[in-house]
Amino acid sequence: MTLNTFNLPDVGEGLTEAEIVQWKVQPGSVVAINDIIVEIETAKSLVELSSPYAGVVAALLATEGETVDVGSPIISVADGDDDAPAPQMPGELSTPPATTHPSGATDASATRVAAADGGQRTDTQESPEAGPLVGTGPKADAVKRRPRRTDAAPLQAPDPQPAPPADGAQAATRVLAKPPVRKAARDLGINLSDVEGTGRSGEVTKRDLMSYQAQRDAEQDGANTFWDAPQKPQDQRIERVPVRGVRKATAKAMVDSAFSAPHVSIFVDVDASRTMEFVKRLKASRDFEGIKVSPLLILCKAVIWAAARNPSVNATWAGDEILVKHFMNLGIAAATPRGLMVPNIKDAQDLTLKELAIALNELATTARAGKTQPAQMQGGSLTVTNIGALGIDTGTPIINPGEVAIVAFGTIKQKPWVLDGEVIPRWITTLGGSFDHRVVDGDLSARFMADVASILEEPALLLD
């Protein structure tokens, strides 16, 4: 029997870690190549990983809810079930047994090489007949680990009082633990040398760490004095939410953008009455039957049209040069149960109005289901955020990193409006635009926003 270890792959460009959301298998489960084994949450989306091996699940090496670094082992699969190890309790961390091959290498080292050569799964659309999957993620040895002790001790009685290290190093430097366990220990402020390891070869497992923490908390509670008592009810009223996944990625992106790109924002009120009439006609049209149509569709078309007339708003600041894009990957900021996501519609400039409507519907459905893939959020050109859907009039949006412009679409509602010298009720909205002032000057931003507004005021201009 050979144990094959599957390391967490980089399923998106630049991914460094992911959270284990749900295991689809348990120790003892029989899996085939390309069977779904786990659902993970990357910085922006949920991704299902398939097994690159066929056999019996020997161990789950990461627990649900745990954040794992790319390149770290997450599951081991035995190539046969005759000598497969006994199933573990679900979620228990373990280390695969190391057996010696004729070459002198152990299963543990051999499986790390196998994972580096063919165990990194990135393409979830691979067909079952395609054979073993070859990935593009970092190799297993890209993650620094403490060397495993493999030298066998001679058969003799143990020294009842082993001599201390010659260099005076503390015993803590020899504690065995996986990287996720070490990270958890650092977060909890626990010295691993104080924790008794129950894993194979005395390794400290996640269960050992949690047991030690529970014991420490109990001792701390017992040591609390009378003066601590009034503070307990207040502490219980505070909910601590870990910053990870979508929230962690969004926070980093917004900080990077806000404090690297000098933002300038401008606003314009727009009479969108003809857009509302146009949308009403589209909804009644047989060509758009079964397709959701909203004013956002017209705004998106207006942004594409205006960017073609003002190309520098569709660009990226690259330090010593500006990259002007003559294509439009239109980003749509989507509020989902998992947080803010900004997938984009590739080559939106080539789509008809109907095709753009279909693409918007598919993007929204996928985002709300949390199934947006990392590739769908890469390579954006310019972003639209529909804050009007929440009843907000306008705002100052933060530019999506890698772009130089973003347009906020406020709510459309009837307001008094002066038309031909008369005050009459019209459908009015407010557009807000934020721009990277390193690339987009005031004149350019004003012309771009005016072009967007002109389409909302008269959608027939799109037919020119």
Cα distances (angstroms) measured from residue 149 to each of 69, 201, 202: 23, 9, 12
Query: What tokens were used for 306?
Result: 């205006």
Strands, E assignment, 214-290: 263-271
Query: What tokens were used for 411?
Result: 């709510």
Say how far apart CA 194 and CA 334 lie, in whole Å. Answer: 46
Query: Which helix (H) or strand (E) covers residue 116, if one does?
Result: helix 107-118
Q: Please classify residue 152 by burial: count the beta carbons closer than 10 Å to its beta carbon, then call 0-12 exposed, 13-18 middle and 19+ buried.
A: exposed
**Residue 437: active-site member:** yes
3-state secondary structure of 48: strand
The residue from 101, 263, 326, 437 that is catalytic is 437
Catalytic residue positions, numbered: 437
